[in-house]
Amino acid sequence: MTGGRVGVFGGAFDPPHIGHLVVAQDVFEFLQLDLLLVVPTARPPHRGVQMSGEQRLELTRAAFGGDSRMRVSDIELNRPGPSWSVRTLESIRDALRPERLWLVIGADQYGSFDSWHQPVRILELAELAVLPRDGASPRIDPRYPCTVVPATRVDVSSTRIRERLDAGLGARYLVPESIRERLEQIWWQARPDGAPASTVSAGPEKDAGDGC
């Protein structure tokens, strides 16, 4: 596909969960998109991750695989260095040449947008679509115009799921059934004693994927 209205929904997806699917649908419908690109970050520059990029990509593809409106992209996993949003947007613009392009971020990420890598350049490439956090809309910064996307609030997070798995509890109803068995297999085979995995160090930029 080239042209059209495209959204970019990035995140660690560590692991993907039902909240990600609900938010993705809300974004797609509210912005009247032709395509939503779901982009697992290779090296999230704001924090560590528990699973490898390959595992997160596998699970995210399985989670979103039944929805033709969404396409899971490995664009960041195939690129060295931090997962800067500006680099991802430049690549997507070159490849798809969309008529309109949105970067989907959370309200807390929007609040620190001026600390992101090349925020002015990001706004040259894409419009910002901001998801409220805990039901609260962000305070709009006139330097960074945005569209607030009403999103269904689902009380689930990747952190909560990891904590359950570390405790030997299952992820049923928290993640799509299409990935549940594989996620539990990955987790418990890697950590038979239930000990948390070591994390990969990360820098300051945030994404919309965790806690949605």
pLDDT in tens, 100-130: 999 999 999 999 999 999 999 999 999 999 9
pLDDT at res. 196: 42
Over range 134-157, report the average pLDDT.
Answer: 92
Q: Is the pLDDT of residue 199 over 90?
A: no
Note the Cα 20 to chain centre separation in Å: 8
pLDDT at res. 193: 57
Q: Is the pLDDT of residue 212 over 50?
A: no
Nearest to 88 by CA among 75, 98, 101: 75
Residue 125 lies in a domain: yes
Residue 147 lies in a domain: yes
Residue 194 lies in a domain: no
Q: Which two tokens stand for residue 189?
A: 């085979």
- Tens-place pLDDT, residues 48-93: 789 999 999 999 999 999 899 999 999 999 888 777 899 999 999 9
Residue 164 lies in a domain: no
Residue 122 lies in a domain: yes
> What is the CATH classification number for the domain harbouring 67?
3.40.50.620
Residue 208 lies in a domain: no
Provide the domain limits for residue 132: 5-153
Return the DSSP state at 114: G
Domains held by the chain: number: 1
Residue 107 lies in a domain: yes
Nearest to 72 by CA among 3, 135, 9: 9
- Tens-place pLDDT, residues 27-49: 999 999 999 999 999 865 556 78
Q: Which two tokens stand for residue 191?
A: 């950590």
Write phi, then psi, for 137 (nearest 5 degrees): -75, 150
Residue 171 lies in a domain: no
Instruction: Answer for the pair 129, 104: CB distance below 8 angstroms, yes or no.
Output: yes
DSSP bridge partners of 7: 36, 102
